[in-house]
Chain A
Amino acid sequence: MPTKNKLRLGIPGRALREQTIELLQKAGYSVNITASGHKITIDDPEIECFFSKTQELAEWVEDGMLDAAIVHKARLLEQNIKTKEISQLNYSNSAWHATRVVLSVPVDSKIKSVKDLNGQEVFSRLPNLTKKFLESQGIKAKVTKVGYPGEAKGEMFNKPLVDFTDTGRTLAEHNMKVLAEIMKTLPCLVMNLASYQDVWKRQKTENLAMLLTGARLAIDMVGLMMHVPNELMPEVLKVLPAMKKPTVTQLRGENLFDVLTVIDKKQARELVPQLKKIGCTDIVEFPLEKVII
């Protein structure tokens, strides 16, 4: 059972595993995994980590076996898990973006649209969500629960399939094509309802969430500093994105300002040449470790 001043944290042990470990490291934790791969420890004596499949983590955080856990939103909905959501984290099994729950069929299937599913059997990793989706579409079909991995089963038995997909690569490998998207899902850091009432545990989890989201955001962003002559300031401020107010300071004894800001990595490709053209000098782009807005 959870103890005082120690947070029991469930970490996805299969799907989401690698990205979760990387994000914990970026958040500033040193992560140690035993040779068998089943035990995870981090260098914070107040957090006790635990690896398991997310189906189990979801149940255990609801029961109070764990204080907190990282579990897919779709998994929480599927199992009707009652917990307190602290934060959603923008990553997936293999990429830094959301996962989709999709309905797919073999490429040569007679089923061409959702309507064709009437009277058919649908394989699903998430049967409850699938039933709700079919109901909302006015479709009557038999839903059969299948375990991981779903793609091979859909292909082998020529059945429509509901499963998670990040990049669509596994579906393509199994000659499946997407018919419809049921939902987008992100990993959620959730807390047991009683643990959430414990001030220390709540604070500890909220701080962890702040570091994880800060590290996640920093992956997409870069810092930018430059010198800007006085008369160009209005124009420069107009092109800089407004997400974070740029830090503008006047250089001592000069008609120059020092401007420092953070921007989206993708924006930098267009913004840097643009700033140069306006007349900014000494433009330096630098990497970020955490961004907390």
Chain B
Amino acid sequence: MSQIKENSSRKIIFGIPTGSLQENSLLFLRKAGFNIHAAPRVCQPKIDDSQINCFLLRAQEIPKYVALGKLDAGIAGTDWILEQKAKVVEVCDLDFAKKTVGKAVKWVLAVPQNSPIKSIKDLQGKVVASEVVNITNAYLRKNGVKAKVEFSWGASEAKAPLFVDAVVDITETGESLKANNLKILDTILESKTKLIASPMAWRNPWKREKIEAIAMLVYGRVQGHQMSNIMAHSTTANLPKILAVVKKYDQPSVKKIAGTDYFDVSFRCKALQARDLLPALKMAGAHGIVQSPAFRLD
């Protein structure tokens, strides 16, 4: 391998999606310790890691360029990976969407509230608008229905019933569908955000190691975002009861507190679980219960 080739392979070209995933992608990359400066209208944000070049690209296009090896790695949803039939390596789940963390977004088949279409079968011979034409065609084929799938540039919610009979659209909270008087007939696909790598980069040991390091840091931050540390004090007598509660959530670390007959019980749980867990701990006799944001999970 020539000297020049060697140098250029010591750089990761990384795709960050614009649009709905942009804000959370930048947020978690920053939380992972990368300072990224994305000035408005600039497509190549600056990052304080000389081994990474970032590009802001449409989420729809990232899988394609990753599959081609033009991008070494990037952030993309499984929806666009499938739609573009892109052959990429899925390095890890990132579990965030536009508004929520920890929930999958859904592509759904929706029709107007008062539509005569009551089930998929009624779609026979009808027209469906969809941004994900390939996924929609595959879905219809699987259900043995022949319908015309029209590519939609977006704002699909507005198109039924005037322009098309049904729409396939993405929903995170369901609010946009409700606001446009649509009801869901079926879920076509649950899409998750992933960190993906190109098969070419994955074969290069240096690139693979670098991509895995980025993935580990960002993954840890997304997981940590949803996690809390819990610490509680217990007497020797209450310890078995308290451990019985904790064991449903995590393997706790139990430490004797120096100079007392108290124990400190520390563990991690999902922040959402704390609501049920804290009253149960208190009931089991714990005191001095402290919940704090999880420390790094690397």
Contacts and interface: CB of A to CB of B under 8 A. Distances in A.
A241 interface: no
A288 B291 contact: yes
Contacts of A290: 274, 278, 289-291
A247 B257 contact: yes
Contacts of A29: 275
B205 interface: no
Interface in B243-298: 255-260, 262, 264, 271-272, 274-275, 278-279, 282, 287-293, 295
Among A28, A29, A257, the most chain B Cβ lie within 10 Å of the Cβ of A28
Contacts of B289: 214, 290-293
A58 interface: no
A210 B291 contact: no
A126 B112 CA distance: 52
A293 B288 contact: yes
Nearest to B228: A289
Interface centre among A247, A260, A286, A291 (most CB of B within 10 A): A247
Contact of B233 (A214, A247, A250): A247
A292 to B, nearest CB: 4
B275 A249 contact: no
A39 B122 CA distance: 36
Interface residues of B, number: 26
Given A288-B290, A289-B291, A290-B289, A28 B272 contact: yes
B223 to A, nearest CB: 16
B107 to A, nearest CB: 23
B293 A245 contact: no
Contacts of A214: 278, 289, 291
The number of chain A residues touching the other chain, given as a range, is 20 to 34
B288 A260 contact: no
A210 B292 CA distance: 16
Most chain A CB within a 10 A radius of its CB, from B231, B257, B292: B292
A209 B184 CA distance: 38
A292 B293 CA distance: 15
Nearest to A218: B291
Given A248-B257, A249-B257, A28 B275 contact: yes
Contacts of A260: 231, 264
Interface in A204-226: 206-207, 210-211, 214, 218, 223
A247 B292 contact: no
A245 B260 contact: yes
A290 B282 CA distance: 13
Contacts of B228: 289
B256 A249 contact: yes
A244 B291 contact: no
Contact of A248 (B258, B272, B278, B291): B258
Interface of B: 228, 231, 233, 255-260, 262, 264, 271-272, 274-275, 278-279, 282, 287-293, 295
6 contacts: A27-B275, A286-B293, A289-B228, A289-B291, A290-B290, A292-B290
Interface of A: 27-29, 44, 206-207, 210-211, 214, 218, 223, 244-245, 247-250, 257, 260, 262, 286-293
Given A290-B278, A291-B290, 11 more contacts: A207-B279, A210-B278, A214-B291, A245-B262, A260-B231, A289-B274, A289-B293, A290-B290, A292-B282, A292-B287, A293-B287
